[in-house]
Structure 1
Amino acid sequence: MEENCIFFDTHGELTHGDILSILTLCEDHFPGPTHAYITQFKKVLEIPVTSYLDKSVLKKFNRNKYGIEYSAGYENPGIRITKTDGRGLISIPLKKGDEYHMTKNIALQLVNRLELKSLGVSPVNFVLFKRKYKENRRTTDFPGLYWLQYYDAEEFKKQGGNAILDNPYINAQLIKDGIFIEVGHSPYDFQTPEGEVLMINANAAMPPIVRN
């Protein structure tokens, strides 16, 4: 089953407030989870839950430095968050067409609520573009444009700076000290020939990488 995923990386370790903010987004937008998994030193603790904000799970998570993962059952969203480096992932499996077509809203809220270094939302059927990225890779974190992405000031400069705004195939807006970029209208666009062409053209129109 193909998924579209939101991945993000913060400037520092996620705070308790950051984690609550992320989980509140999941609570507001996704079906309730069935299980939570707390990564511990030598084992993973599985806990039945009905909410992403389950107090017993958060209490156990606050006591360790590893990770937390929620499962919402087959074909429903799950999330994984680690505290050590601030990285997180929200996977959104496809179910009933556009039922989960709300990821731009979630992505923008993550950008505004957290101090992010980077964020990306992959299009569905993203495998179609892997070969092209291998041939003309940009940076380690961003081999090419995703459906949505946020670059902080450092990554914005590395990806070409204000010249990105001249790309006619993208929608871009400046947020905080970085840039938020959208290619197409949904993560499903790139299952079509037209959407694939748009992605290829958008990547080709990106300015050269600025190397230190």
Structure 2
Amino acid sequence: MEDKNQGSESKPTKGITRRSFIRGAGLSTAGSVLLTSNALAFDVKEQLAAGKEFGPEAVTIKMKVNGIMNSISVEPRTTLASALRDHLELTGTKVVCDRGSCSACTVYLDGEPVNACMMSAFDVGNKEVTTIEGIAKNGKLHPVQQAFIEHDASQCGYCTPGMVMSCVHLVENNTNPSLEDVKNATRGNLCRCGTYPHVFKATLSAAKKTI
């Protein structure tokens, strides 16, 4: 039986073929890489302000931490906590829960407490970061740090940096805090050792010494 299709001319397939799809996808990918490479030639802050996307490769950004301007190369997925610990070796900032529920990673962003584990390093921008390493001045402990030592306000120590940051922020903005003020200031700081009474006493004591 003769095959009706034999010897017949092949007609071009209408629409998108698998070959044309793959070819188009390859060109699109190449174009994306080219655009990304060109974008990296500009200032990162300008690109972020314009809503540009970066990654997955590392990008160099500038970050002012404890009064010092730093240039670090980080991937867009890098958190502020990771940038501080892994890139700037400021390991005083602890990562415990890594989901913003314990506040062990508390740092200041332009003087306001934030959870560093929940913030992208790219979101810092022109704001200044202050870590637990930047609380002491001229080699002298902050009154809150000294009071924590005197009142034995730390046990395992994992929550201590974040707790100190919360308490320092309180006494520097309230020269005469009450016990309720201290409890409210540390309500987001989780201490698994249960040393809260010592933290409260230390903070109230430090408030009297803070000018």
Both structures adopt the same fold (TM-score exceeding 0.5) = no
TM-score (norm. length: structure 2): 0.30
Q: Which has the larger radius of gyration?
A: 2
| More strand by percentage | 1
Higher relative contact order structure (alpha carbons within 8 Å, sequence separation ≥ 6): 1
| More helix by percentage | 2
